[in-house]
Structures are given as C-alpha cells and as structure tokens.
Structure 1
Amino acid sequence: MKLSVLDQSPILLNHTPSQALKQTTELAKSADRLGYHRFWVSEHHSTKSLAGSAPEILVAHLAANTNHIRVGTGGILLPHYSAYKVAESFRVLETLHPKRIDLGVGRAPGGLPNVNLALNNGKHPSIEHYPRQVRELMAYVQGNDPYEMDVYATPVGETAPDIWMLGSSGTSARLSSELGTSYSFAHFINGYGGTRAMKRYYDHFTPSRQQTIPNGNVSVFAICAESKEKAEYLASSLDLALLKIEQGGQRDYFPSPEETTKYPYTLFEKERIQENRKRMVVGDPSQVKNELEVLAEGYGVNEIIINTIVYPFEERLRSYQLIAEAFQLSD
C-alpha cells in the first residue's frame, strides 16, 4: 500500500508562520527520504493557525527541495480562480518537475464567508460553474484549446500534471467519475459516507484523456507514537483544536498537550471529541498500521494520505517516521 502526506502548515504554540512553513519544508524532505509517495499542501485563507494560503507557490518550493516524492495541492479552490490561469501555473510546475506534480482541486470556500468576497472582487463565487471550470482546466492542462480561440496554457510539454478531484461528499465523487479524474475523499473532514462515495466513483468512472481506469485515495488524521498512551497524549491537542474549530473559535495556534490537561471540558465537549475520533487514527505503530489497512480496505483503495498535527514539531516528524517503518516504506 502507498502512503502519502497532507500538510496544512499548522502554526504551533509559540511559533511563527515562518517557522510553520519551514517545518512543512523539513517534513517534505523527511517524507521524501522515508519513501512516502506524494506530499500535498492545502489552501486556507485568513486563518491564523494555518500558514498555507498559496499552495501553488509552496509546491514550487517543495518540489525544488525534494528529489523523488510527488508534490501537489490538496487542493486549489477552483471557484475562486480562472481555470486558464491555474492551468498555466501548473504547466510551469510540470515543466520544471516532470511527472512529479499533482493538481488537486476542490470547491470549498477555504475560510470564513468574507474570504469569498475578498477573493472574488466583492462577489460570491458561482459554485454551480465548478463542473465547467474543471472541464476547462482539464482541457488546458492537456494542451487543448477548449473554446477554439487559439488560446493554450503554456508552456506546452509532453507530460501533464495529474488532476485530482478532492471532496468530502458524494457530489464530488459523482463529478470526478463523470469527468474521468482521480478522486480523493477527505475522511479527516467527514468521517461518514466516504466508502459509499468512493464506491460510487469506482462504479461509474468514465475514462478520459488523463486516465483510463479509476484511481482513488483517502486522507485521514493519524498520530503515531512509541506507545498507545503517548499517542493519546499527543492527540489531545488535536482533539481540542478540532473542538474549538467546531465552536467557531479563532485561535492563533494549535495548542500543546499540556494546555489540554487544564481545559475544563464539559460532558458535551467530551462526546464531541469521541465523535471526532472517527476522523482520526491514534496509537502505537502496530495499531496505526492495522487501522490504516482496515480503512484502505473499507474504501477499496491502495493509498492513504496521512495528515498529522501534533505538538511539538519533532513529534510530527517522529509520527511519520514510525508509520513509514511499520509499513517498511523504504524497503
């Protein structure tokens, strides 16, 4: 089974955005050495605790600082942008790093409602145009002129980045199957309905110029440590962070486990934490390996994308290392 990484450049307690991006770079280098298959970065706007607001720029930096691992976006929020401009950006990336670039796209807003207005000149993006945008993007990336206006996404090359449709519902799975793209389900966002969405994608996949067979993966929060007890301790900071996000609270950083021990959880909050654990895999190496394999089997995929947010950063590196060793990625 292939293992990959999704990194959101989290800003940890007493850290700066600059440090967060440097940590993402260090993690990408480590993932490359450990044998991970791909490394994706996300797009978030006006978010104080996440530093990744321009993934296409970060992809260029990470690809230049790694050797073998595929690098891409998880993902570009297409309704905010011109499909043509996105295609040209990724044609440049593909020309610089042939056969190593992934173009993951999604339709989420990427932030609070006002973000939509700021990104679209004071207007709300038209989500209903998203399918057309993806079709345009696929055409331009593949070197076509979809409107016969003698307009091509340059630089033109022999290879093209792989387009992935990202989603957390059956709607995105249906569109991905119709257009013939690869499909990634965000289990770390929505722990329900993913297996049905993936089955729908596989069952109704339509071949395209990009690919003739379906290709799916699933992303999940995972935290691994030498012992189950330590993993639970480290996961407590993510528990609190997710809880605060659900409550609409703006935080400048991701908390430390020490902070969580002082937090006065209500009974309802404790129940929400247990519910959110359905989006996470937590444990020692053997436990995490087993649960990831079960997750992959349930989704019918041979690739899991791991998103790990823990404090301190060294434990994030260690978690990915332990999982890589458990799966013998470098062998």
Structure 2
Amino acid sequence: MTNKGTFANTQFSVLDLVPIALGNSNLQSMQNSLDLARNAENFGYKRFWVSEHHNTNSLVSSATVVLLGYLAQGTSTIRIGSGGVMLPNHAPLIVAEQFGTLETLYPNRIDLGLGRAPGTDQLTAHALRRGKHESVQDFPNDIEELQTYFSIENQDGSVRAIPGEGLDIPIYLLGSSTFSAQLAARKGLPYAFASHFAPTHLKEALDLYKGGFTPSKYLDKPYAMACVNVFVADSDEEAEYLATSFYQMALGIITNAREPLQPPVEDMDEIWNYQQQAMVKNMMYFTFKGTKETVEKELGEFIRTTGVDEVIVTSHIYDHQARIKSYRLLSELFNEK
C-alpha cells in the first residue's frame, strides 16, 4: 500500500461525542472516552475533540469543559479541545476563563472550537440561554469579545479573563453551512466543516472559505478541516456490520427517538424502511467503511477532491475495543511503517 503517499500531507484527528453504549453507565462512557484519547495519542492522531450536546440520553458531553480537563489530565501530548463549544450558550468571558484555565494547566495542548448551533432542541436551548434573542451579528461579536479577553492588550481593560489573558489558545470556527465558512475566512481563522452529518454544503463552504480567506496574525493561509465517519475492520463485511450501530443512531435522529448506542445488527432492513434508509444515507453521505485498503482508496479520493488539510474522524462503534481497533487500523494508513 502507498501509505505515505495517500495521506502524506494530511493531519488526522478524532471527534468524540462521548456516546453512551447500551448497558454502559455515564461513568463508563467517560472512562471509555479517556481510554480512546490515550490510544489516539499513541496512534499518532493530532487532536482529540469533544462536542457540546445537551438533554440527550445517548451522549454524555454536556459539561464539555469539565470533560476536556479530565481528558487532558489523562493524556500527555495529544491536543485536547472542543469540537465545539456552542458559543451562544455561554458568556464569552466564561469561555475565556475556562479555556484559560485549561491552557494554564496543560500548556500548548488546548484547542477552542466554536459553533453557533445550540447543540440541543429548542426547549433546552431556551433553558440554556434564558430567553436570549439572537441576531445574526451575535456570533461574530461574541468571537471578537472572546479574542479581546485572550489578548495581552486587554490588560488595562475593565473586564479581564484571568487566567486566559495573553495566552495563545487557537480558535477554530465550526459549521455545517456557509455562514461560519465566510466568517472564518474574513477573520483569518481555521475552519472545520461538519460533513459527518451535514454533507450538502461541504464543497460550497470550502470554496467560500478558501476563496475569501484573509491572512491574519493567526494564519497566513487557509486551514480547512472536515469531519467524516469512519469504520475500519478486517473485512468490508465486518465494517458494514459495525456501522449498523451508527445507522441506528442516525435513524433515531431522524425519528426523534434518541437512545443509547445500540449493538450492531445483521440486517438493517428489519429496522428501517426504504425512505428512512435513504434519509440516513443522505445525511451520513461522507461515511467510509471497510478494510484498510477500501478506506484508503475512498478516503483518499475525498481528500483529493476536497483539498482539506485535516480529517477529523468520528466512529460510532458499539464495542469499545472494536472502536479502538478501527482507529488503530486507520492510523496505520497515515503513519510510516
């Protein structure tokens, strides 16, 4: 296999939603996340991100910053960050203080990925935001306020983030549409697209980001990232089998029947109908599954077509050891042998 050639210029990272597999406790799910982070570090992944979600019994990543501290303390070199913190749910000052604390405790290892979706349903979003009404400028303004708190120039400000002030904490803008792509381009920030569940606008968003990029003190050229679903196993059939847990999770999103991550099944046709299958496959279009050879070919084509600098991998696999094995097999494709 042409391992070095296929992924030679591409970084690989992990996104973990900290899923609750059926039969596991909340604690076990968090412990599995730490174990996965430790393995990802050993396998050579660049960063390990956790996403903010609320009011779902299938994920346990609501207190995202607390989890990031747990993961950072239990690892040594891999970058730990949010993929992302949903900024409208929080005051920028609080985010600056929290991530300033993380960066102080774990220097040069903390990433701050920011999204503008609620990460939950509208009723829960209302509970989080306490009736706050957003305008289109709130997200850009909140980012500017956050950057101000991180800046050394704010040392004479009336409101300061301590710790946080003067620390080099990289900010990444996350999105599933074109809004954040254009904002990231305008502000000269790295951009990550959520193609693992929202494939429709990937090409348009990346084109807008790269075409409109303005160099900044943070970046001199665009840095594009894309999240995809990956399942690697010893055979194509086994990978397809493992992916059925992921399909059941996606079906739950469509039918609004959120459940813990279910065990894999032999035949998804006993669970979904044709229309549901089409909806899941459309929503999860950028899913790569199979042997190392199969994934190398298909994921390699994705990288060539999109031109992304970094691939963020998420893998909803029921069995924890099978999930670790999937990440290990993928790492063998981007590591030198």
Could you list the runs of 5+ residues in structure 1 that have no partner in the other structure?
Answer: none
Inter-partner Cα distance in structure 2 for 1:208 and 1:62? 31
Inter-partner Cα distance in structure 1 for 2:104 and 2:51? 22
1:72 counterpart SS class: strand
Of the three residues 55, 63, 83, the one matched with 2:92 is 83
* Residue 210 (structure 1) aligns with: 218
Closer, same or farther in 2 for the Cα pair 1:280/1:261, shift >3 Å? closer
* Residue 6 (structure 2) aligns with: none
Inter-partner Cα distance in structure 2 for 1:156 and 1:264? 49
Of the three residues 300, 316, 319, the one matched with 2:323 is 316
Question: 2:198, 2:283 within 8 Å by CA — same for their partners in 1?
Answer: no
Mapped pair 1:165 → 2:165 = no
* Residue 178 (structure 1) aligns with: 186
1:58-77 → structure 2 map (5 Å cutoff): 58-77=67-86
CA offsets, 1:145-172, max 9 Å, x none? 39x7433222256641110000011111
Could you list the runs of 5+ residues in structure 2 that have no partner in the other structure?
Answer: 1-9
Inter-partner Cα distance in structure 2 for 1:271 and 1:261? 12
Inter-partner Cα distance in structure 1 for 2:316 and 2:119? 18
The amino acid across from 2:315 in the alignment is T
* Residue 196 (structure 1) aligns with: 204
CA offsets, 1:211-265, max 9 Å, x none? 22221111011111110000001111111210121111132x0111138658343
Question: 1:116, 1:123 within 8 Å by CA — same for their partners in 2?
Answer: no
* Residue 304 (structure 1) aligns with: 311
Inter-partner Cα distance in structure 2 for 1:290 and 1:271? 24
Inter-partner Cα distance in structure 2 for 1:262 and 1:219? 27
Return the offset for 1:122. 4.2
Mapped pair 1:271 → 2:278 = yes
CA offsets, 1:161-197, max 9 Å, x none? 1100000111110011111211000101211221221
CA offsets, 1:85-125, max 9 Å, x none? 11111111111222111000000111111111211224455
Return the offset for 1:126. 4.8
TM-score normalised according to structure 1 size:
0.93
Closer, same or farther in 2 for the Cα pair 1:267/1:89, shift >3 Å? same
Inter-partner Cα distance in structure 1 for 2:63 and 2:87? 13
- Higher mean alpha-carbon deviation, 117-126 vs 194-203, is at 117-126
Return the offset for 1:134. 0.8
Question: 1:41, 1:75 within 8 Å by CA — same for their partners in 2?
Answer: yes
* Residue 262 (structure 2) aligns with: 255
- Percent of paired sites with the same residue: 36
When the two structures are aligned, how many residues end up with a matched partner?
A: 328
TM-score normalised according to structure 2 size:
0.92
Of the three residues 93, 117, 123, the one matched with 2:102 is 93
- Higher mean alpha-carbon deviation, 101-110 vs 133-142, is at 133-142
Inter-partner Cα distance in structure 1 for 2:42 and 2:303? 23
Of the three residues 122, 128, 150, the one matched with 2:158 is 150
